[in-house]
Amino acid sequence: MPFPKPQLESIDAAREVDIETRADNGRVYRTVIWIMVEDDVVYVRSVRGEAGRWYQRATADSNVKIVVGSVEIDAVARLAADERSIETASAGLRRKYAPGPSLDSMLKPDVLPTTLRLEPVV
């Protein structure tokens, strides 16, 4: 089930969002990340690959929160490391962000497996 259309539109319009994750001890962290919407599916990827702390926390505890401006959206992070999801997320990055070193960093082979699909909490 996708996010409601208004949420998808605000997520897609946002250049960056915060993702809120929890550590094992319950402490909450917020990290600024890029986010993309393709075919009504929300994707994120760790620019630091598996070394990204937010990514490590999101894969340890899949309950995350996306913060778009002042709106907080509860979500569940699901690994999307299959070829189709990776290519779809990469296409979303290319569509949304300008060519250059930052975009190139998000398309490196070693970060592709850290693609996550965010789904609404139901």
pLDDT, residue 109, reads: 97
User: Tens of pLDDT along 26-80?
Assistant: 999 999 999 999 999 999 999 999 999 999 999 999 999 999 999 999 999 999 9
Instruction: Establish how many alpha carbons lie within 13 A of residue 74's alpha carbon, considering only the half-sphere containing its beta carbon.
Output: 4
pTM of the predicted model, to two decimals? 0.95
Measured distance CA(105)–CA(3) in Å, rounded: 27
Measured distance CA(101)–CA(65) in Å, rounded: 28
- State the average pLDDT for the chain: 96
Query: Is a pLDDT exceeding 80 seen at residue 1?
Result: no
Domains by residue range for the chain, with CATH: 5-120 (2.30.110.10)
Q: Give the residue from 101, 102, 113 showing the smallest Cα distance to 52.
A: 113
